[in-house]
Amino acid sequence: MVAVAAAATPIRVSVVGVGVVGEWLLRAIDRHRERLRDEYSLELSIVAVANRDHGFVYREGGIEIADVLALKAAGASIGELERTERWPTALAGLAATETDILVEVTQSPSFDGEPGLSHLRHALRHGVSVATSNKWPVALAGVELSDLAGQHDAGFRAESTVMSGTPLLAALSAGLEGAAPLRLRGVLNATVNYVCTRMAERASYADALAEAQQAGLAERDPTADVDGLDSVAKLMVLSALVFGVQLEIEDVGRRGVSALTEAGIEAAFAGGRRLREVATIDPGRRRLAVEASAVARGDPLFEVEGTKNAVSLEVDPLGEVAISGPGAGPELAGQGVFSDLIALARDRAERARWSA
């Protein structure tokens, strides 16, 4: 008998944000085109790309990824893509065009989550599925975004917002459907954990941070990492998507490693303990915090070293579920978005086959 491969289902994808992660994703789609067709029966067509400087560029029949990458490599504008229509902003472009999936990989700050939040809301309200690595929109409005996805029959995935490409959110939400999350503890910032690990090896705080910057782990301005704000965003994402509870930044107690005194650091290492920035969600004890603190041997977070991250969730009726893995890097973030995109596209394709 000869196996007949199912015809690949065309899925339209708009990529808003063609920076490091967006570009990594486009390369992955290009490189895995055959596999996407043969293994997943998917034909992903990039109908739009957008950035801040050049706006939203669209071609109904699909844009060649190689053309986008060539323009980027040459330092030229995506506005130079041929036979395309163009809008000055992503929001205007999204409103005027059609797509099945939005990949939202812009940078959006903590005070309002924009422009990402508006992009995500617009897409979901129009039944467009969404994959994003942009943490603040999900931190500030994850419950609303999940509800919108449900109301409009769209998919919503944000795996790379916490622990980059290490699969976590889907495992702790869809993977635990029917169970009840009770408490969570985690190490959520790779830069800070690298700094803590080096300090245990007797590097000074300043030297450890400088090393993290040299290794490309820390931003040039590492304030949001070392003052705990980055981990607060990730804790808020976990609260929204795993516990279904929307938090505001002020709800979370915060003491980053930058707030520790010399004496505090010495104390954290006393008795063979290790310094960790621990994120805690403990609704029973009304405790929400990101705190640089000492952990003792035997604590699951004690062994989380270097750029590794980990989350330990107490679940009824399972007990403790722990996931650890690499926590930083554009390849990881890109891979997380790529996985989300494939999952969303397979879901759309399945629905298209059923309704055909």
31 vs 353, which CB is nearer to ligand NAP? 31
Per CB under 6 A, which region of 170-178, 191-199, 231-239, 325-333 contacts ligand NAP? 325-333
List the structure tokens of 225: 């990492």
260 vs 310, which CB is nearer to ligand NAP? 310
167 contributes a contact to ligand NAP by CB under 6 A:
no
> DSSP of 196-262, one letter per residue?
HHHHHTT--HHHHHHHHHHTT-S-SS-HHHHTSHHHHHHHHHHIIIII-----GGGSEEE-GGG--H
Q: How far is the CB of 140 from ligand NAP (least distance, A)?
A: 13
Annotated catalytic residue, options 72, 135, 234, 308: 234
Q: How far is the CB of 328 from ligand NAP (least distance, A)?
A: 6
Q: How far is the CB of 342 from ligand NAP (least distance, A)?
A: 18
Q: Which residues pair with 45 in a beta bridge?
A: 12
Residues 105-144: x where in contact with ligand NAP by CB under 6 A, - otherwise, as a string: xxx-------x-----------------xxx---------
Rounded Cα distance, 49 and 84, in Å: 11
Out of 99, 160, 166, 309, the only residue in the binding site for ligand NAP (CB under 6 A) is 160
CA angle, residues 146, 149, 151, in degrees to nearest 5: 110
Out of 9, 12, 13, 22, the only residue in the binding site for ligand NAP (CB under 6 A) is 22
224 vs 349, which CB is nearer to ligand NAP? 224
By three-state DSSP, how is residue 309 classified?
A: strand
Query: Is residue 135 flagged as an active site residue?
Result: no
86 contributes a contact to ligand NAP by CB under 6 A:
no
Q: How large is the C-alpha radius of gyration of the chain?
A: 21
Phi and psi angles of residue 295, each rounded to the nearest 5 degrees, phi first: -120, 145
Number of residues that bind ligand NAP (CB under 6 A): 24
* Residue positions counted in the chain: 356
By three-state DSSP, how is residue 318 classified?
A: coil
330 contributes a contact to ligand NAP by CB under 6 A:
yes
Rounded Cα distance, 133 and 166, in Å: 12
Residues 52-81: x where in contact with ligand NAP by CB under 6 A, - otherwise, as a string: xx----------------------------
Residue of this chain nearest to ligand NAP (CB atom): 19
Instruction: Give residues 197-216 in contact with ligand NAP (rule: CB under 6 A).
Output: none
Sheet strands side by side (includes 85-87): 85-87, 55-58, 42-51, 9-16, 101-104, 129-132, 156-157
Residues of this chain that bind ligand NAP (CB under 6 A): 16-22, 50-53, 90, 105-107, 115, 133-135, 160, 164, 329-330, 333
Active site residues: 234
